[in-house]
Amino acid sequence: MTARLEHKLDLNAIKAIYASPQGAAVKDLFKRGLRVESAAKKNLQEFPQRVDTGRLRSDIHTELIAVQGKYTVRVGTNVYYALFVHDGTGIYGPRHQLIRPKSKKVMRWKGNDGFVYAKYTRGMIPNPFLKNALPAAKL
């Protein structure tokens, strides 16, 4: 007994899988973005820890966006100091220079035990929490 089998591709169904926000591929893409978001939040807790109020950690979010009809996922934050935490500052940052006051003799900032006064600071070492979270997108 022989059986004959035919396959027909339903191009509309394939397009729906890849191009629709309800399609399986787009849902998987969004799930991967959520895994990266979760890993980035966890990375902020590791050395060098940069969590004071939790504002940066709570503002990391994932969004699904359409670019020229194709879906992509954006994971990030709108907190203005996130770049400084991610890339570092001072000698650890992109300029590799000490941080000095611009118009005063000393700088002042709030530390753990009150205010800190300094003529210069080396800055803070980077915590690339987003970059280090990218491997979470893999299966």
Residue 107: half-sphere exposure toward Cβ, Cα within 13 Å: 14
**The residue to which tokens 């979010």 are assigned:** 61
How much is the pTM?
A: 0.79
Amino acid type, 9: L
**The residue to which tokens 């729906």 are assigned:** 16
Backbone φ and ψ for 33, nearest 5 degrees, come out as: -60, -40
pLDDT, tens digit (0-9, with 9 covering 90-100), for 100-114: 999 999 999 888 889
What region does 94 belong to: left with phi over 0, alpha with psi -120 to 50, or beta? alpha
Domain that holds residue 121: 11-131
pLDDT, tens digit (0-9, with 9 covering 90-100), for 25-40: 889 999 999 999 999 9
Given a cut of 90, is residue 82 above it in pLDDT?
A: yes
**Is residue 120 within 8 Å of residue 114, measured between CB atoms?**
no
Mean pLDDT of the chain: 89
Number of folded domains that form the chain: 1
Overall average pLDDT of the 2-27 stretch: 82
In a domain, 95, yes or no: yes
pLDDT, tens digit (0-9, with 9 covering 90-100), for 18-73: 777 788 888 999 999 999 999 999 999 888 776 677 899 999 999 999 888 788 99
